[in-house]
Structure 1
């Protein structure tokens, strides 16, 4: 890509403090009107999907010049009536379809071939088989067929053959409400309330391979699979992140670390602790980002146990992040994260989506570390 997102642009400073001065902000007039719940870049096209508590899913198209335009938008209005608020959004592996999960238990599915040239559209189909909000969605391939996994606050995990919307296999009962999900290759990780984490081999998707307790002491906020699918990262409300390997033979490599904390300048024994809201892995380098309620994001090399870059506070909580398919762009959403309840969500809370160009060695692992 050229100009703003060019790999040939001037390298970022070599210090561990990152620069956000070149970040592109999506114009306010095409942004949602309420907090952003999720971001997802298309794996095949220059498209970014944004789900919001205003009841919409918006798809933006970005160009090599750094221009961003609103391509499509649909409201999460089930055929039975009403409006749901999408909690998650994800793309199929071939970029031909998109799915979003509503807080009322409805799954909204969009086939881009039926979306038309642009503007406000209707989802291809919607169906409600969960009894509470759908908090996680992941497309995966099995026996050459594209499937969708859905995890819900109703404590269940279901699999779907789309676009027929037929459920495949038995419903898996989870230990608690599903809070976060991610899949990579044959690895599916489901994080629930009460710090349970289910690990599922998608080659045998109707069984839970094993269940572990989160190594972190407080509520899980997010899970994200490694680029090579050998494990996953966990983020919690306590300002900690854990690195976990799926294979028991690699448990010696597991570790956790503190992040998204602010030291009290007057008392070294006191620190403000912020939630880790989002974790995203770079598709090429296998390094990863964390972003939190403190309004900062950081890039990390898990194999070297090293922070690559830390970025200054962006003016509000970061609720969602995503790397583009080539890893040249890092998107992050600034909006209210509901950490102080409904009453604290007011018009003064910022709503922004920014695109950060990855320059120089920002996300490259330290020399000599194993690439994942």
Structure 2
């Protein structure tokens, strides 16, 4: 709430009223001093011009990539000339509605969980501080997609609603919020092709919070740790073969060459059979018969859906017992940090801590390189 400058109140003093002088014009906001730069992410750009920031989100869903531009202005300052199509967001944001668990991770990474006042769904939230806010009734469940509760959002009137940039989730779809002067920011981190590029979206949140100095410090440490871990596997004598995932409705989706998961596997020192195969969607839709020959001879099997035991795997399909990693007990799933509500923290904090995810993978695949590391996101299925 803006503070009002109040003049003398009648009757408050017996002294003569002071002489009224013209109020000096408000000074322009000082230039932005704290800055960050984008090094790994390809889905957004951030620039600093005088006292404001220009954030551009690239939408890769059309044949010709489109861009959505935002002017990030100090609260109460006038809109600069130009950028007539840009949406204005006043800084720093004080309240945020996030429609994805990734948005929770971005805020939590910067110690700003308290700005979250709304979530698309309570089910997919892991951060303890945010779950506590939910328990205390400080966060509203606002729905997603066609179930988005626009009336509730308009009544709440947050400083910003952050949405996931799926195909069709363009700004015109949020006309009701725009009419209520509620900014909507499209977050498309999921299209990034590297783990560090995906994690670097924390810099979008930092720009919204005026926390560039903090994000530079924390993210740069993540980068250093990630790169040190990746370097440790470059000259390993054996690069074990891995198979990833499980079929869903008779289709086995595996990461394609341009996916961030494929980059994880490269940096973890593996032999991944589809490391050179590309697909428009970021994953390859294969049949069981295509993947099975690889799985029959693979060294490790990763990401087995929601299963928590080998028995659960067999219950889905007895043919899995023939896979070499199943026989050898080399099956690892990324669901170690799943809470009572069913939220898997791998998809939340793991998205902004790729260094910890990579450490887990190296511990599994090359345990001699990290003898004291304890698995954080992964667990071996028994």
TM-score, normalised via structure 1 length: 0.25
Bigger radius of gyration: 2
Q: TM-score, normalised by structure 2?
A: 0.24
Higher strand share: 1
